[in-house]
Structure 1
Amino acid sequence: MSTDFISLGIRREIQEYLYKDGITTPTPIQVQAIPVLLAGKDLIAQAQTGTGKTLAFLLPLFEKLQPQKPNVQVVIVTPTRELALQITQVATQLAEPFGAQVLSVYGGQDVERQIAKLKAGVQVVIGTPGRLLDHVRRGTIDLNGATRLVLDEADQMLHMGFIDDVESIIRHTSSKRQIMLFSATMPSKVRALATRYMDKPVDIQIRTQNVTLDEIKQIVIETSEEAKIDALCKLIDEYRPYLAMVFCHTKQRAIMLNEALSQRGYEVDELHGDLSQAKRERVMRRFSEAKLQILVATDIAARGLDIEAVTHVFNFDIPHDVESYIHRIGRTGRAGETGIAVTFVTAAETIYLRMIEQGIRATLEKRKANGQIITRKAQVQPRRGKVTTATVKKATDKKPVHAGVNTRSRRKPKQSEEISSQNKPLRARKPTERGRK
């Protein structure tokens, strides 16, 4: 029997709004979470990114909201500014028919402007831990009346060292609060946080067959540091991605790679912590509008960026832990689409590859830079113990040499738009519409 949003407890007006946006059927996380949250119960939801969890908590939050009251009733805590902005965009659209006010607070914004909006009355606040606590300490935000608290990407907040700040925020909210914790993975410290502050939470786990998303084809390219940039460009030219994300360990390497790809003629830009907030927002807007083909980023962008049209992820630098690998490649293969994730590995980095394969319980397909297959994808393997990296030295960063061409394919048009089969340069045609196939 099919399920719609009304049967989950969402009012008809909101379902009609979702229909207009092309959202007709609830995802599994929405089907399980919405009734629980409407019943007022605490919730622990473990689900991969791209499963629809934002609407899973926003829809019941707005159903319970009292827009006639000017105080902060809902607090949504996220690890990054980018994720706060994305949730704010969705929340602002949902708030319109309710007459509710939504405010995002994060570093890099004008504090006085935020304070002015808070004084005018805001029901929903979405922000990063540091800026939220800054407002609490200034006395410019009162969370005592906040009865609903969302902790989104809780494992990433732990990874970024925000757990103490998160606990402080929890203690400033109402003692009668409802807590909703969403996380792709569930480390022991996150589980312990839930135990301390949540009241008999309902535990939901949305899992795919494998640890990583089944819709993503994962490939490993064995190469040297010197040849890595050429290998990357060769695959970009071969795959002709519609939108691609390329991950580097550090902002210095992201800057270097962005410059190198730009010199070769690719439509590319960079995203890392050294950029001003205005620049970060401008880059993300251009990327989401497909005015860029390639986004070179550090792990600041590995979480929460929900851009369905990302067709390829390239790990220019291999992640040093399983969680980072999962969240990086999770930028593609979203909302039922397929994706390709390519990880470049040098001889000095094979220990990290073994760690990832053991963590996801699978052997990844390995190729040489010339395309020759070394190992085809194997069946899921049992765990063989934990590999540690404490004694492993990082591979030395070397500045590569570059050359290439800029093309794009796998355009994602709306159904009413004809798909061109011609191989055209990226600049030959600027996409103006995007949608699912």
Structure 2
Amino acid sequence: MGIYEKGFERPSPIQEESIPIALTGSDILARAKNGTGKTAAFCIPALEKIDPEKNAIQVVILVPTRELALQTSQVCKELGKYLNIEVMVSTGGTSLKDDIMRLYQPVHLLAGTPGRILDLTKKGICMLNECSMLIMDEADKLLAPEFQPSVEQLIRYLPASRQLLLFSATFPVTVKDFKQKYLPRPYVINLMDELTLKGITQYYAFVEERQKVHCLNTLFSKLSSYESFTFFSLHLFTRGIDIQAVNVVINFDFPKTAETYLHRLNTGKLTQLFGLNSYVGRSGRFGHLGLAVNLITYEDRFNMYRIEQELGTEIKTIPPQIDLAEYCQ
């Protein structure tokens, strides 16, 4: 009933893959971007496995920010509306006393940030000895230096038979190291290839910062399209931009992280992008061709190499002439 009232008619790909496996008790390492339904992909099996008759925390959902904790707990409350499951949020920057008082009441599912939950656990207020499932959303951020020690300490308070579910848009080295230590045989789900870089040819042009505008003008003169277009500078827009009829994107300022690189090419968040008659992510996703050109300075070279490694992709040197067939059909 909760799923029905939430308006879900059929599972998204990440939900279809994750939910049955999570219900078996297997660990999961899932790679999926925001906006694909991943929150429900772990909330639904978490709620399903909770016994509301047992007065104990049975599921912990770790997230990197208070905003995400509130959002996730709200989804849990809505989906579990008819299950009599008690959901609590606990994050840093709020009253510790209020959290302590709340934990004297029944709590079945706890969503929050690692530092605050660890603090309550060390104080003996948050009891995790019957917590059978730990979920880490945006695991790449949770395994950054500011969070990872707290995460690893929290795991020590869980039963040996605990189930770990990790969801992340990117798999940096920290996630891989964590997997080897805590998830020796996880069920791996990777939906990023189909949703992101498939069908997109990626090039880089090595330039000095002062040469960027000249390089951009040169690209304009060389790239062809089926129809005339108006050029828009989109670097001030951060969300909601969806240009359906374009097939070329020029990354004027190269991003520092793999996640940002993926989002720029695939979610319509065209931060610091200049769009020419195309929206690469849409075209790649639905089987059309797309082209991405990155303007790389000397300072960008290490970021580019790291992003190639993390995404398992190749950004090639731009050739003197770009074949029209690479981005037009």
Give the alignment's TM-score, normalised by structure 1: 0.54
State which of 270, 281, 301 in structure 2 corresponds to 1:351.
301
Displacement of 1:29 in angstroms is 1.3
2:25 equivalent in structure 1 = 40
Displacement of 1:320 in angstroms is 2.8
Matches within 5 A, 1:17-416: 17-18=5-6, 21=7, 23-198=8-183, 200-209=185-194, 212=197, 238=232, 244-245=237-238, 309=240, 318-326=254-262, 329=264, 333=267, 340-343=270-273, 349-351=299-301, 354-355=304-305, 358=308, 360-362=313-315
Displacement of 1:96 in angstroms is 1.9
DSSP-derived class of the 1:208 partner: helix
1:427 equivalent in structure 2 = none
2:284 equivalent in structure 1 = none
DSSP-derived class of the 1:55 partner: helix
Displacement of 1:25 in angstroms is 2.1
Contact 2:60 2:135 (8 Å CA) reproduced: yes
Contact 2:234 2:271 (8 Å CA) reproduced: no
Displacement of 1:89 in angstroms is 1.9
Contact 2:264 2:273 (8 Å CA) reproduced: no
Q: Deviations over 1:168-212 (max 9, x none)?
A: 111111222121122222334423323333363222221334754
| Cα-Cα RMSD | 4.2
The letter for the 1-side match of 2:68 is L
The letter for the 2-side match of 1:177 is R
Displacement of 1:76 in angstroms is 0.7
Structure 1 residues 349 and 194 mapped into 2: Cα distance closer, same or farther (>3 Å)? closer
The letter for the 2-side match of 1:51 is T
Structure 1 residues not aligned, in runs of 5+: 1-12, 232-236, 246-293, 295-308, 366-373, 381-437
Distance 1:66 1:357 in 2: 42
Contact 2:203 2:316 (8 Å CA) reproduced: no
Displacement of 1:69 in angstroms is 2.3
Displacement of 1:376 in angstroms is 9.0
Displacement of 1:133 in angstroms is 0.8
The letter for the 2-side match of 1:61 is A
Distance 2:4 2:257 in 1: 42
DSSP-derived class of the 2:193 partner: coil
Displacement of 1:92 in angstroms is 1.9
Distance 1:199 1:347 in 2: 39
The letter for the 1-side match of 2:16 is V
The letter for the 1-side match of 2:301 is I
Contact 1:104 1:125 (8 Å CA) reproduced: yes
Displacement of 1:126 in angstroms is 0.7
Displacement of 1:158 in angstroms is 2.0
Q: Deviations over 1:301-339 (max 9, x none)?
A: xxxxxxxx4659x9996433434433x538x72xxxx55
Structure 1 residues 341 and 40 mapped into 2: Cα distance closer, same or farther (>3 Å)? same
Distance 1:89 1:316 in 2: 38
Distance 1:156 1:171 in 2: 20
Q: Deviations over 1:314-366 (max 9, x none)?
A: 9996433434433x538x72xxxx5545348685645367547845424699x
Contact 1:147 1:174 (8 Å CA) reproduced: yes
Contact 1:218 1:342 (8 Å CA) reproduced: no
Distance 1:147 1:346 in 2: 47
DSSP-derived class of the 2:121 partner: helix
Structure 1 residues 148 and 239 mapped into 2: Cα distance closer, same or farther (>3 Å)? same
Structure 1 residues 357 and 364 mapped into 2: Cα distance closer, same or farther (>3 Å)? farther
The letter for the 2-side match of 1:24 is E
Distance 1:329 1:244 in 2: 11
Contact 1:30 1:53 (8 Å CA) reproduced: yes
Structure 1 residues 35 and 42 mapped into 2: Cα distance closer, same or farther (>3 Å)? same
DSSP-derived class of the 1:172 partner: coil
- Residues matched between the structures, number: 283
The letter for the 1-side match of 2:255 is P
Q: Taking every aligned residue pair, what percent have the same amino acid on both sides?
A: 31
Q: Deviations over 1:193-244 (max 9, x none)?
A: 23333363222221334754879x9999x9968x99xx9xxxxx94789x94
Distance 1:52 1:214 in 2: 23
Displacement of 1:31 in angstroms is 0.9
Contact 1:79 1:160 (8 Å CA) reproduced: no
The letter for the 1-side match of 2:256 is H
Contact 1:325 1:356 (8 Å CA) reproduced: no
Contact 1:76 1:126 (8 Å CA) reproduced: yes
